Structure 1
Amino acid sequence: MSVAARRDPADRMLSIRTIYHEPDVESWPRGREVLERFPDAERVVVPSHQDIPGLYGNAGSVESWVRNKREVLVLGEKRSLQARPNGRSADFIAPSTSNGCAMACSYCYVPRRKGYANPVTVFVNIERILGYLERHAGRQGPKPEPNQCDPVDWVYDLGENGDCSVDALISDNVRDLVELYARLPHAKASFATKFVNRDLLGWDPRGGTRVRFSLMPRQMSRRLDLRTSPVAERIAAVDDLVEAGYEVHLNFSPVVLHEGWHDEWRELLREIADVLGPAARAQLACEVIMLTHNAALHDVNLGWHPRGEELLWRPDLQESKTSHSGQENVRYRARWKRRWLDQLLELIGTELPGCRVRYAF
């Protein structure tokens, strides 16, 4: 085993040198805990976690895209607490306990809003967020009927704007959330991840948290999933998490199409079928999401990882699409996308029988 492989995952992912923080973060216990966790980092007070001159909106920051993810941390307070209805992967999108990510997936949609840098922002008012979520879940009562999110529980997506497995290296916010949903009736937490954090195995989720491992063929992942856990390592972790009390689903996302994609996906699905044990297979489900890209993100990526754009930016296959938030995105042309999606769904049914597809688009 190499020295790099033996290193603590937090050391490999993070080497925090600068912490930008709002003036009042030390009034929160979680803020003090995080500052104490990185005692050697330079502290820079900023008026808002969303307003950091020289970091966000600075085109020059793109040259330090990965370095900022590794070395910069932002602390602030989450002021707007709202569980938004969803209906796809989850019934509700929970208010974020973080924003941004230390990983560097070149298709990530979060940088579309943040500009030329996307390090992790941790929200320190976790007590308020936990209280809000407990009250919200209490108001829902029992789920009246099954839906594609879950047959029994109301599902709350925790990690819309980041990766909870990485966030758990920085603070105890994610553990607090897992412990909350372990005891809440009629409610379940859910988050997608591309990082294997084995600390999660020591927690006690009691079936109240669904971990969704995002997967794509390994050849594609090597080009696009920068700073993530290898695909084989993610697959190998499924059985362990199921044994530890988590529900574990798969997130085939984004599906990036190119010449030879069908054979690559067949290979991935066969690997999953070979590795997963009976307990994991018995509870397995997946979601399938075809790539959506964005011109502004394309321009950012050209500044730090142009080779990835050779796969993501395909005008010969894509067309413009206005998102629900009003952004101008690109997606695979509708008349072809349905055909390709059906081919992948057929492949899942053949190579991974018994894996329920919760939704696909």
Structure 2
Amino acid sequence: MTDALLTPTRLWTPRRVMITKSAAELPHTAEIVRRCVAAGVSEIDVLPADRLTGLRGESERETYARAKSTLAVVVAPPSALKPQPIPPSADWRIDLAKGCPAHCQYCYLAGSLSGPPVTRVYANLDDVLAPIATHVGRGTITSGTAERGHEGTTFEMSCYTDPLGIEHVTGSLAAAISRVGAGEFGPGASLRFTTKFDDVTELVGLDHGGRTRVRLSVNARDIGNRFEGGTARMPARIAALRALAQAGYPVGVTIAPIMPVPGWREQYGELLADIAAALTDVPDVDLTAEIITHRFTPSSKDVLLSWYPATKLEMDEDARSAKRSKFGGVKYVYPKDTMAEMKRWFSEELRNVLPAAQLLYWT
């Protein structure tokens, strides 16, 4: 039995739903419309074509606000139906949607998504999930490895969205978890996603078969409160983590993006202690940890400053180290000494406070 869940602290409900012509007749669209109507959305429009229009305003801020309050129901293009390797998280990436309703001032998607930041949910869900069956047993991150082989072949669902943040108006996540949990794609398939939201009431009642790992994205108090707008607060996320663990899900914490803010040791220490306290009496918890430091690129910085011109987020190239990819791209990370200090501290604290947690990676 799980504890009684609190009323979710954060639900995103779009002001407008736009359905493209090609998506309109697909079976999953009917479920999306049903959920949107139940959530109180009154403006649901079927478009005469497949092009999304009317998202741009007279300014960047108006365009941002309009896009962030819109859910677009579209057909995933062929490029989105081919699973891509996604190290160090998982063997493969599959996308239920593209875009996120949250307002994180360090948004991971800034610079990687073109056009207004509208959230697009894919109506051709069968096509999106079908490649799971063909890719089971393939991969290099978990599939066949000594360290993580017990996870099976893993499929990451939160590269381009927060699937729980839109679940109450899409139903895509529950469908994926249930179908993989029932073994539809073979016994070796395993889903995973990370979220900053806390509405897990539907998820804890699913027959997930232990084949979906849910990770809660958590951070120091000051970082969450200042930079993660439109999301659930840390206590609510940790309560959701507990509920999922009680329901038998493999769970995890994605501590990201780590920043050496004033008092960071104390704040992250409190965070880890709160997680430990929430899980202390839950038997047989399967817990992982992933730790990601803050970084940015020149293009993401430009986008973020256009979205959040008054942000206090530190993005000073002179205070960072430039890290170049083999393709010539550059991202700015913390200096070597700072990275080493944070890595030492977190490694020791995890061992002391959450000894059962398997640290999957630090980056």
| TM-score (normalizing by structure 1) | 0.85
Per the TM alignment, residue 33 of structure 1 is displaced from its structure 2 partner at its CA by 3.0
- Taking the aligned partners of 2:253 and 2:17, their CA distance within structure 1 comes to 34
Q: Which residue of 2 aligns with 1:3?
A: none
- Taking the aligned partners of 1:38 and 1:145, their CA distance within structure 2 comes to 42
Structure having the higher helix fraction is: 1
Change (3 A) 1:170 1:9: farther
Change (3 A) 1:281 1:274: farther
Q: Which runs of 5+ in 2 are unaligned?
A: 1-5
Partners of 2:242 and 2:279 within 8 A in 1:
yes
Partner SS, residue 107 of structure 2: coil
| TM-score (normalizing by structure 2) | 0.85
Q: Which residue of 2 aligns with 1:88?
A: 88
Equivalent positions of 1:93-104 (< 5 A) are 93-94=93-94, 96-104=95-103
Which deviates more, 257-266 or 213-222? 257-266
Q: Which residue of 1 aligns with 2:358?
A: 356
User: C-alpha offsets along residues 10-37 of structure 1, whole Å, 9 cap, x if unaligned?
Assistant: 8x421x3333332211121112332344
Per the TM alignment, residue 304 of structure 1 is displaced from its structure 2 partner at its CA by 4.4
2:223 aligned with 1:220, yes or no? yes
- Taking the aligned partners of 2:105 and 2:347, their CA distance within structure 1 comes to 25
User: C-alpha offsets along residues 124-158 of structure 1, whole Å, 9 cap, x if unaligned?
Assistant: 00111222222322678x943423x4534111101
Partners of 1:158 and 1:189 within 8 A in 2:
yes
Partners of 2:24 and 2:46 within 8 A in 1:
no
2:270 aligned with 1:294, yes or no? no
Q: Which residue of 1 aligns with 2:3?
A: none
RCO higher in structure (CA 8 A, sep ≥6): 2
- Taking the aligned partners of 1:84 and 1:357, their CA distance within structure 2 comes to 23
Which deviates more, 80-89 or 232-241? 80-89
Q: Which residue of 1 aligns with 2:144?
A: 144
**Percent identity over the alignment?**
24
Partners of 1:62 and 1:117 within 8 A in 2:
no
* Counterpart code for 1:20: M
Partners of 2:137 and 2:144 within 8 A in 1:
no
Change (3 A) 1:108 1:327: farther
Which consecutive segments of 4 or more residues in structure 1 shift more than 6 A?
6-10
* Counterpart code for 2:243: D
Q: Which residue of 2 aligns with 1:210?
A: 213
User: C-alpha offsets along residues 211-255 of structure 1, whole Å, 9 cap, x if unaligned?
Assistant: 011110112100111111110111122221122221111111111
Partners of 1:217 and 1:265 within 8 A in 2:
yes
User: C-alpha offsets along residues 177-216 of structure 1, whole Å, 9 cap, x if unaligned?
Assistant: 1012212311210001110112211211120100011110
Partners of 2:105 and 2:227 within 8 A in 1:
yes
Q: Which residue of 2 aligns with 1:272?
A: 275
* Counterpart code for 2:224: S
- Taking the aligned partners of 2:359 and 2:109, their CA distance within structure 1 comes to 25
- Taking the aligned partners of 1:169 and 1:99, their CA distance within structure 2 comes to 16
Equivalent positions of 1:22-171 (< 5 A) are 22-38=20-36, 40-43=42-45, 45=47, 48=50, 52=52, 55=55, 60-63=59-62, 65-66=64-65, 68-69=67-68, 71-80=69-78, 81-94=81-94, 96-115=95-114, 117-137=116-136, 143-147=143-147, 149-171=148-170
* Counterpart code for 1:273: A
* Counterpart code for 2:83: A
2:177 aligned with 1:178, yes or no? yes
Change (3 A) 1:100 1:152: closer
2:240 aligned with 1:237, yes or no? yes
User: C-alpha offsets along residues 63-88 of structure 1, whole Å, 9 cap, x if unaligned?
Assistant: 4535532x311111112211222331
Q: Which runs of 5+ in 1 are unaligned?
A: 1-5
- Taking the aligned partners of 1:231 and 1:324, their CA distance within structure 2 comes to 37
Change (3 A) 1:350 1:31: same
Pick from 342, 345, 358 the counterpart of residue 343 of structure 1. 345
- Taking the aligned partners of 1:280 and 1:101, their CA distance within structure 2 comes to 33
- Taking the aligned partners of 1:123 and 1:46, their CA distance within structure 2 comes to 18
- Taking the aligned partners of 2:327 and 2:101, their CA distance within structure 1 comes to 25
Change (3 A) 1:339 1:235: same
Partners of 1:286 and 1:357 within 8 A in 2:
yes
Equivalent positions of 1:5-24 (< 5 A) are 12-14=11-13, 16-24=14-22
How many residue pairs match? The answer is 347
Per the TM alignment, residue 311 of structure 1 is displaced from its structure 2 partner at its CA by 3.0
Partners of 1:107 and 1:312 within 8 A in 2:
no
Q: Which residue of 2 aligns with 1:329?
A: 331
Change (3 A) 1:282 1:127: closer
- Taking the aligned partners of 1:18 and 1:152, their CA distance within structure 2 comes to 39
Partners of 1:195 and 1:228 within 8 A in 2:
yes
Change (3 A) 1:323 1:168: farther
Partners of 1:98 and 1:120 within 8 A in 2:
yes
- Taking the aligned partners of 2:300 and 2:249, their CA distance within structure 1 comes to 34
- RMSD (Å), alpha carbons: 2.9
Partner SS, residue 160 of structure 2: coil
- Taking the aligned partners of 2:150 and 2:137, their CA distance within structure 1 comes to 18
Partner SS, residue 112 of structure 1: coil
* Counterpart code for 1:28: L
User: C-alpha offsets along residues 53-104 of structure 1, whole Å, 9 cap, x if unaligned?
Assistant: 5537x782434535532x311111112211222331212112x110111111
